[in-house]
Amino acid sequence: MTPGQQSLVEQARARFGERVAVTDAADVEPWLTDWRGRWHGRSAAIIQPSSTEEVATIVALASELHVPLVPQGGNSSMVGGSTPPPDGSALILSLRRMNQVRSIDRGSMRAVAEAGVILQSLHEAALAQGMRFPLTLGARGSATVGGLISTNAGGTQVLRFGPMRALVDGIEAVLPDGTIHHGLTGLKKDNRGYSLDQLLVGAEGTLGIVAAARLKLVPAIHARAVAWLGLASPQKALDTLRALEAGTDRIEGFEILPQESLQAALDHIPGTRAPLDSGHLWHVLVEATADCADAEPPAEQLARLLAPLVERGLVENATISATEAQAEAFWRIRDSLSEAERVAFGPATQHDISVAVENMPLFLAEAAAEVERAFPGTSASGFGHLGDGNIHFHVRAGTRGGPDWLEQEGYAVQRLVDDLVTAAGGSISAEHGIGVMKKEELERLQPDRVRHLRAIKAALDPNAIMNPGKLV
């Protein structure tokens, strides 16, 4: 421990008790590595405050002592965002003890939740009041409100409700000098200059600590239906989405996957079954919901809207879940694709990218062809949130490489994909953030953007204590 870290730990313990700092190496260890197991850091302690006031005191101490802090929620970051640096220079600031849902208000349809509330718990708390928080993702059992805000998380319901940014209605935060920003006022209109709340969304812990947030809720789902479609191409999938959207505003999920990804799931994920009998080059999972009893049942609505599309040949075949178990089985295929592909195809580079929605079908075809031409023997494809223009684009080593392929060629592939995305006016990080993983690439591709981000960072965090080495 450096003298500054030692002093911070001692002062924090003197004010808030032993429990506020975890210094036993065995207890710190599980929080030093990212979820993918790709980045390993060092940290002498985890500081775990239990209130906003405690966070403010600790951040003020860190600022005074020049001790960098790495904010951490569930540590489910896909880009190494919550892993401390390897030189041991920073302490982890865990928000996991701040895990209270402070209020749920049915009138305003808002929840106020502390940063450490786990997404699954928020879902349950909202449901108990007949409402739901309309954002979900695979890591819902560990991702926290603070982490979701700080990464501007997406997931599978962005199509209808937007990403985290659209669901945040105010933030209580501790800024890098230890002052508290009180943003839970519930003001519908507030034009006092820059929105500090929105600045903190997607800031990846580099501008301050999210302590609590006021979040938008929607009515609980009364009924839902999930359809599985077989189609010839991503363009036909997008045309299908537009046709469905012309008939309803209740499409929540629209996920695309190629046949080989489906096959990987069928071959390697126990209990999965092909939703359709016939083979198709591409597949789409569509979810529609109803939030009240007098709305047209979603299964009937999907059947009514899909029938003419099948007749026209836009959709080759379709089936609609008859039971909740079947709906879950369709989602299970979608949710297991990353794991299935890892087993089926071995090493692959993974790119969380976005382009304008209408350009995604062409981009997918052209980028795959370009990558396969540049790296003969690889195969490239993607699955994911077509309706958001966000695809998880994977380049598989194929005949080209063994287990060390990623080390040998991964970066060259990454650069090519990032160049293609940038040339298409897209983003090299659609929903996972920049973290450490994409920091160099962002700077290589968009130095001006990084310069502006750094100017904001320097203004708010002149001592550079907030999440060093991430994003900028």
Ligand X SMILES: Cc1cc2nc3c(=O)[nH]c(=O)nc-3n(C[C@H](O)[C@H](O)[C@H](O)COP(=O)(O)OP(=O)(O)OC[C@H]3O[C@@H](n4cnc5c(N)ncnc54)[C@H](O)[C@@H]3O)c2cc1C
Q: Summarize as ranges the residues that interact with ligand X (CB under 6 A).
A: 35, 70-78, 81-82, 95, 115, 137-139, 142-144, 146-148, 150-151, 153-155, 204-205, 209-210, 431-432, 467, 470
- Taking each helix axis from N to C end, the angle separating 360-374 and 405-423, rounded to the nearest 10 degrees, works out to 140
Minimum separation from the CB atom of position 144 to ligand X (A): 4
- Amino acid identity of residue 186, one-letter, is G
Residue type, 345: F
Q: How far is the CB of 106 from ligand X (least distance, A)?
A: 26
| Closest to ligand X by CB, 144 or 378 | 144
SS3 92: strand
Q: Between residues 142 and 235, which has the closer beta carbon with respect to ligand X?
A: 142
Residue 357 CB, nearest distance to ligand X (Å)? Answer: 17
Contact 337, 209 (CB under 8 A): no
The structure tokens listed for 362 are 């062409």
Question: Which is nearer to ligand X, 6 or 120 (by Cβ)?
Answer: 120
In angstroms, give the least distance from the CB of 154 to ligand X.
4
Neighbours of 389 (CB within 10 A): 20
Angle 220-225-226 (CA atoms, 0-180°, nearest 5)? 120
Q: What is the smallest separation between the CB atom of 238 and ligand X, expressed in angstroms?
A: 20
Q: Which residues contact 458 (CB under 8 A, 6 or more apart)?
A: none
Strand arrangement of the beta sheet that strand 46-47 belongs to: 21-22, 46-47, 91-94, 69-72
Between 345 and 383, CB nearer to ligand X = 383
- List helix spans (H) across 285-404: 298-311, 324-335, 337-345, 360-374
- Supply the minimum distance, in Å, between the C-beta of residue 189 and ligand X: 26
Minimum distance, C-beta of residue 289 to ligand X, in the bound complex (Å):
18
Which CB, 148 or 386, lies closer to ligand X? Answer: 148
Given the complex with ligand X, which of 78 and 251 has the nearer CB atom? 78
| Distance, CA of 51 to chain centre | 26
* Nearest distance from C-beta of residue 324 to ligand X, angstroms: 22
Which residue has the CB atom at the shortest distance from ligand X?
147
> Which residues have a Cβ under 8 Å from the Cβ of 67 and sit 6 or more positions away?
2, 4, 5, 8, 61, 90, 91, 465
Asked if 420 and 193 touch (Cβ cutoff 8 Å), the reply is no
Would strands 46-47 and 69-72 be described as parallel, antiparallel, or unpaired? unpaired
Which residue type sits at 390? N
CB of 120 or CB of 326, closer to ligand X = 120
Nearer to ligand X, 78 or 348 (CB): 78
Tokens standing for residue 345: 């195809």
How far apart CA 367 and CA 426 sit, in angstroms, is 12
* Shortest spacing between CB 52 and ligand X, in angstroms: 11
Which of 138, 297 has the CB closer to ligand X? 138
> Is residue 60 classed exposed, middle or buried when 0-12, 13-18 and 19+ CB atoms within 10 A define those classes?
middle
